[in-house]
Amino acid sequence: NSPAPLPERAIYGFALFLGSWFGFILYLIWAYIPETWLFSLGLTYWPQKYWAVALPVYLLVAVGIGYILLFGINMMSTAPLSSVHTITDNYAKKQQQKKFQEEAIPALRDIPISEVNRMFFLPEQ
Amino acid sequence: MAEERRFRSASGAPIALRRRQHSASCRDLAVRGPRLQLRSLSAATSAVWLAAYGLFALSENSMVLSAAIFITLIGLIIYLHFVKIDQESLLVIGSLGIQVTSSYASGKESTTFIEMSQVKDVVINEAIHMQKVIYYLCILLQDPDDPQGVSEVVPLFQSSKPRLDCLIEVYKSCQEILEQRKTAPQSS
């Protein structure tokens, strides 16, 4: 799964490059060439030119709203102050206590909030 | 024995903490926020009335002015009765429980009582609140099925939001009383 260049990847890239240029030229033709010229060529069933302007506008407005929407979704998913998820979660509840060994570094674990508070805010003990 | 000390809230407003010790196992802690200021009241009233006068100048409808007066009066009454909390207090009785009281500016008081057997601990927790990380004091309620588990978190001092120095004082006072129930003999 390395990002190194491969012959298949080169072919995909070139095909995408040609395809995107073709799509862009087609879009320019659709947007700028008058309808009557297109009819005379026999291309009568293309979408209305209204959409050549409307679709880019829709896209830009969607991007702008996406900024605000992401901000709002973040705010909505933040746990409220009364939620028990600010204290603990499933992994902390199910953790196993390893045996205490002398002279060894204690095992990593999630320390309960009461203990942390006592350590920080009651310095006499 | 009562003492009062000045602190600041999370947003910078001045608040005062008053501690009273009624007995060895009963303590009363009250946090008082600033009263409604005359300048903010006049600013809000002038803004609403200027906007209403602007609408009246545009629309020539005099009902806009009377509506503005009504809105100001009713809005002020709703604000004082439902929104503006003057004092939040915590009464910790070692053998009985914890009572949380909020007094509104209109005189209304709303209280909540939590029995001591339901209280696991009173801790200072930090959490994200409106693009800030704040410290707040909360009561952890015991889960009846699991002795180590927490069933609910009750945040305290929600409207005055004291800063960490004030919270540490309240925390130490509460812990002195809560420790007594571990050393005191259990009476069934």
Q: Range(s) for CATH 2.30.29 in chain B?
A: 2-36+84-183
Alpha-carbon distance of B90 to A78, in angstroms, equals: 27
pTM value surpassing 0.90: no
Average pLDDT, chain A: 90
A87 to chain B, any CB pair closer than 8 A? The answer is: yes
Mean pLDDT confidence for A41-58: 92
The CATH number for B2-36+84-183, chosen from 2.30.29, 3.40.50, 2.60.34, 1.10.760, is 2.30.29
pLDDT band at B184 (very low <50, low <70, confident <90, very high): low
- List Cα–Cα distances, A107 to A97, A114, B78, B120, B169, in angstroms: 9, 19, 55, 26, 33
pLDDT in the model for residue B166: 94
Nearest to A81 among B121, B149, B155 (CB): B155
Domain boundaries, chain A: 1-44
- Amino acid, single-letter form, for residue A88: T
**Percentage, residues of chain A above pLDDT 70:** 98
Which 8-state DSSP code applies to residue B136? Answer: E
- Decide if the complex's ipTM is over 0.85: no
Residues of B in contact with A83 (CB under 8 A): 153
- Answer whether residue A103 shows pLDDT above 60: yes
The pLDDT of residue A96: 77
- Residue B1 pLDDT more than 70? no
A75 vs B contacts (CB less than 8 Å) = 130
